[in-house]
Amino acid sequence: MIYTRSSIYSPFSIRDKFFHLDYTLLFSILLLGIISIFAQFSSSGGEFDYFSKSHALRFCVFFIFFLAISFVNIRIWNDYSLLIFIFLIFLLIIVKFFGVQSQGSRRWINLFIFNLQPSELMKIGIILFLSNYYHKISSSDVNKFRYLIYPVIALLAPFMLVLTQPDLGTAILILVSGIVITWLGGVRWKIFAYLSGLLIILAPVGISFLKPYQKNRILTFLDPDADPLGAGYQIIQSKIAIGSGGLFGKGFLNGSQAYLNFLPEKHTDFIFTLYSEEFGFLGSAFMVFLYFLITSRIILIGNITRSIFAKLYCYGFATAFFIYVAVNMSMVLGLLPIVGAPLPILSYGGSSMLAMMFGLGIVMSCNVYKNNALG
**Which residues are at the interface with other proteins (CB under 8 A)?**
134, 138-140, 180, 183-186, 237, 239-247, 256-257, 260-262, 276, 280-281, 284-285, 288, 292, 295, 299, 302-303, 308, 311-312, 315, 319, 322, 326, 329-330, 333-335, 373, 375
Q: What b-and-e string marks burial along 95-128, b requiring 16 or more CB atoms within 10 Å of the CB?
A: beeebeeeeebbbbbeeeeebbbbbbbbbbbbbb
Q: Compare residues 78 and 319 and give the one whose CB is closer to other proteins.
A: 319
3-state secondary structure of 102: strand
CB of 241 to other proteins, least distance (A): 7
Q: Compare residues 119 and 237 and give the one whose CB is closer to other proteins.
A: 237
In contact, 136 and 188? CB cutoff 8 Å: no
Distances (CA, A) of 82 to 133, 159, 318, 341, 375: 8, 17, 20, 26, 18
d(CA 276, CA 314): 29
CB of 219 to other proteins, least distance (A): 21
d(CA 149, CA 192): 14
Q: Compare residues 276 and 365 and give the one whose CB is closer to other proteins.
A: 276
CB of 189 to other proteins, least distance (A): 10
CA angle 37, 39, 40 (to 5 degrees): 65
Q: Under the phi-then-psi rule, with left for phi > 0, alpha for psi from -120 to 50, and beta for the rest, what region is 184? A: alpha
Q: Compare residues 169 and 302 and give the one whose CB is closer to other proteins.
A: 302
CB of 309 to other proteins, least distance (A): 11
CB of 28 to other proteins, least distance (A): 16
CB of 304 to other proteins, least distance (A): 12
Q: Compare residues 99 and 344 and give the one whose CB is closer to other proteins.
A: 344
Q: What is the DSSP letter of 266?
A: T
CB of 366 to other proteins, least distance (A): 14
CB of 188 to other proteins, least distance (A): 10
In contact, 285 and 246? CB cutoff 8 Å: no
3-state secondary structure of 46: coil
Q: Compare residues 89 and 258 and give the one whose CB is closer to other proteins.
A: 258
Q: Compare residues 125 and 245 and give the one whose CB is closer to other proteins.
A: 245
Q: Compare residues 59 and 275 and give the one whose CB is closer to other proteins.
A: 275
In contact, 180 and 319? CB cutoff 8 Å: yes
Q: Under the phi-then-psi rule, with left for phi > 0, alpha for psi from -120 to 50, and beta for the rest, what region is 254? A: alpha
CB of 271 to other proteins, least distance (A): 15
Q: Compare residues 199 and 335 and give the one whose CB is closer to other proteins.
A: 335
> Which amino acid is it at 61?
V
3-state percent helix, strand, coil for the chain, nearest multiple of 5: 70, 5, 30
Residue 129 phi/psi, 5-degree rounding, is -65, -50
CA angle 297, 303, 307 (to 5 degrees): 120
